[in-house]
Amino acid sequence: MSEKKGSAKPLEGLSALITRPEGQAEELLKIIESAGGRAYHFPVMKIKGVDVGDDNGDDNNVLQISRQTVLNLDHYQHVIVISTNAANFGLNLIDQYWPQLPNGLHWYAIGSATAMVLKEQQIRVETTGRADEEGQMNSEALLTHPKLQKLKHQKVLIIRGVGGRDYLREQLTARGAQVEYLECYRRQMVDSMEGELTRFISVNTINALCINSAESIDYFSTLVGVKNLSAVTSLPLVVPSSRVAEHALKTGYSSIIIAKNASNIAVANALGKIEKYNENI
């Protein structure tokens, strides 16, 4: 892209790599390009529902447990949905057994995008707790919700993917709740030929990275490979939270920008804080 002095395009000169799963990057790509930057998509993670009916023994076991959990949905007082993937896959699984949701459930969402998915399905989402010091609506922020303070003799269901951190469960259990998981999808590293991601970065003169989770950072680093990792760890890296930033720092990334949250606008704004785009990796 040619440079123009005094250009009103805030992201001119940017060549950003978006690593979100397939089908989850289009809006962010458009926002970056409309602001004068270039945006490229190379998924490092794929999302697969546990109810796809394959022969994976682990998935079949998870699905059996998840089905039983869904059948007991009316036993819970609170349902927490941690991501848009959890909302989409979880509601799809629930719909198979509950055409009409049971009454009396309090629904909570981590992040505005997750809340929007629930609202589109006519689910009333409880007002989230206070944002943290960085303005992020994460697990820590949700724990400030008034209805989640005293939970003795109450049951909480957390809808999420297979695995992940147990911080939310631990905190709610300490408040007296009985907490269970509905695990409805699995995260996996994409299949990629050796050197494919490194070539993609070089050919497109990538000078900034957007990676959404600690797990995705690990997948990205693995796909780049040990020999080439030092060439990318110095690139500006936008992450959605201080927790992911800490993991990136431990992994060797040295130029980290924390977005206000994981929304497309917040990520684009964080990209705009990069002082100088380095055209060489």
Write the pLDDT tens digit of every residue in 124-175: 998 665 554 444 567 888 999 999 999 999 999 999 999 888 999 999 999 9
CATH number belonging to the domain at 15-44+192-271, selected among 3.60.21.10, 3.40.50.10090, 3.20.20.70, 3.40.50.12780? 3.40.50.10090
Which residues, other chains included, contact 181 with Cβ-Cβ below 8 Å and sequence gap of 6+?
69, 157, 158, 159, 160, 169
Nearest to 42 by CA among 255, 213, 190, 264: 190
- On whether the CB atoms of residues 205 and 279 are closer than 8 A, the answer is yes
pLDDT at site 277: 53
15-44+192-271 and 48-187 have identical folds: yes
- Indicate the pLDDT class of residue 57, thresholds 50, 70 and 90: low
- Cβ atoms within 10 A of the Cβ of 72, count? 14
DSSP bridge partners of 156: 78, 179
Query: What is the structure's pLDDT at 50?
Result: 86
Q: Are 14 and 274 in contact (CB under 8 A)?
A: yes
pLDDT at res. 275:
75
d(CA 44, CA 227): 18
Average pLDDT, the chain: 89
- Record the tokens describing residue 139, joined without a space: 């697990």
Q: What is the mean predicted confidence (pLDDT) over 224-243?
A: 93
CA atoms of 169 and 157, how far apart (whole Å): 9
Q: Where are the domains of the chain?
A: 15-44+192-271, 48-187
Residues 6+ apart with CB under 8 A from 15: 37, 38, 40, 204, 205, 206, 207, 208, 277, 279
pLDDT tens per residue across span 64-93: 899 999 999 999 999 999 999 999 999 999
The pLDDT of residue 263 is: 86
In CATH terms, 48-187 corresponds, of 3.50.50.60, 3.90.1170.50, 3.30.420.480, 3.40.50.10090, to 3.40.50.10090
Measured CA to CA, the distance from residue 257 to residue 267 in angstroms comes to 9
Residue 140's pLDDT is 84
What average pLDDT score do residues 5-32 get? 89
Mean pLDDT, range 240-265, rounded to an integer: 93
The secondary structure of the chain in percent helix, strand, coil, rounded to multiples of 5, reads 40, 15, 45
Per-residue confidence (pLDDT) for residue 76, from 0 to 100: 98
Q: CB of 34 within 8 A of CB of 58?
A: no
Provide the pLDDT confidence category of residue 63 given band limits of 50, 70 and 90: confident
Phi, psi of 212 (to 5 degrees): -90, -20
The pLDDT of residue 52: 56
What pLDDT, on the 0 to 100 scale, is given for residue 215?
95
CA distance 268 to 96: 37
The length of the chain, given as a count of residues: 281
Cα angle 210-22-92, degrees, rounded to a multiple of 5:
120
Distances (CA, A) of 211 to 13, 86, 233: 20, 19, 12
Q: pLDDT tens digits, residue range 88-123?
A: 999 999 999 999 999 999 999 998 888 999 999 999
Number of H helices, E strands in the chain: 11, 11
